[in-house]
Amino acid sequence: MTRSKKICLGILTFLPIFCMMLYFVFFFFFFFGIYTSEKTGNTSEVSPVFFANFGLMFLFIILAVISGLAMMIYYIIHANSNPKFDSNQKLMWILILVLASGIGSIVYFFVEIVPKKTTAITS
């Protein structure tokens, strides 16, 4: 796998976590804004802000779910077609990827995708 493909795969691997962090930031500022507008008694501005931020939060969640599912499927196919794995290793990686999907994808990326092929040193 070329270096540029590894970089793109790394970006896509971290995309679900990045989208979830953006979701939580928008979630915090969204409810903090509603709370402060309720405290000041200015409730007329809540409705437009609510729907604008809700759309962005929904977009980030959908993007995180779709990209996380796509990366999990890609890594399962990659682990299953990897010739250096025996059947036990394939089963282990597939279970890790399914049961710990977000973190499992990151671990698989750093353990199996990133390392360069090492050459044996003969003396």
pLDDT of res. 35: 73
| pLDDT for position 54 | 80
Q: For residue 44, what pLDDT is reported?
A: 62
pLDDT at 5: 92
What's the confidence (pLDDT) of residue 122? 66
Is residue 12 in a domain?
yes
Report residue 97 as tokens. 């990827």
- Inside any domain, residue 13: yes
pLDDT at 70: 95
Please give the pLDDT value at position 116: 74
Q: How many domains does the chain have?
A: 1
Residue 121 domain-assigned (yes or no)? no
Residue 40 structural domain:
3-113
In a domain, 39, yes or no: yes
**In Å, how far from its chain's centre is CA 49?**
27
Which residues of the chain fall short of a pLDDT of 70? 38, 42-50, 117-123
Does residue 118 form part of some domain?
A: no
